[in-house]
Amino acid sequence: MSKKKLKRYNHQAWVPIRLFLRFLLKTIGFTLLVRLDHVEGHENIPEEGPVIFLINHIAFVDPIAVLFVAKRDIVPLAKMEVYEIPFLGVFPRLWGVIPIKRDEIDRSAIRQALEVLKAGECLLVAPEGTRGDGLQRGRDGAAYLASRSGASIVPVAIEGTVGFPVFRTDKRWKQPGAHIRFGKPFRYKPEFSHAKGETLKKMTDEAMYVLAKTLPEHRRGEYADFSRASEDTLE
């Protein structure tokens, strides 16, 4: 039995529905549910070409916040369970979020993600694979995708999203809100375009240290010791 051929990513086909969803985010989502205090580093987002937004993940709303404030259209990667959330699960489907099967190599998700990057568009990846107060050991997916596609990686530091979403009547709304910072983009050196095994793990750690340097100390977690950081695989 032959494998089902992967449908190529057609960015223009997604534009109308994402424009509508952005309208909902602007008029409802962030107006009512999330307080956004500060965004910086927009100038660090490449205006064209494939990009992977590499985020720290501390709260449910983090990817949504980045989608809202980034200048470019972004396709997030998310655990498959987001499709199953009652009512809210329809929005990831409408946006075209790429679902990932956790704790296994999801080749279908990898192929879909590479198609997005091949089209010159953007992905959002939470490399830890779960939420936490500080950075946990990164998984190799982002490094694999970036090295195979030649995409730029933009580290995105997120702070102040814990406790959201809430309605404006909640006392959390009166406290400091979300702060999002886009760091300077970087790439892997071309000679690592087919890296595997321990080399790929090293590439992952090097990207994670770049992300950690954009974060406050209490968010750096596993990557707090910068004396262990290297940039051997980075341009």
**Residue 166 in 3-state DSSP?**
coil
Residues in Cβ contact with 128 at an 8 Å cutoff, skipping those fewer than 6 apart: 56, 57, 135, 136, 137, 138, 139
Q: Which tokens go with 57?
A: 């993940």
**Residue 68 in 3-state DSSP?**
helix
H helix intervals, 5-81: 11-24, 62-69
pTM: 0.94
The confidence score (pLDDT) of residue 5 equals 58
197-225, pLDDT tens digit by residue?
999 999 999 999 999 999 999 999 999 99
Sheet harboring 36-40: ordered strands across? 36-40, 178-182, 152-159, 51-55, 122-125, 74-79, 98-100
Q: Tell me which fold the domain 11-228 belongs to.
A: Glycerol-3-phosphate (1)-acyltransferase (3.40.1130)
Give the start-to-end residue ranges of the domains of the chain. 11-228
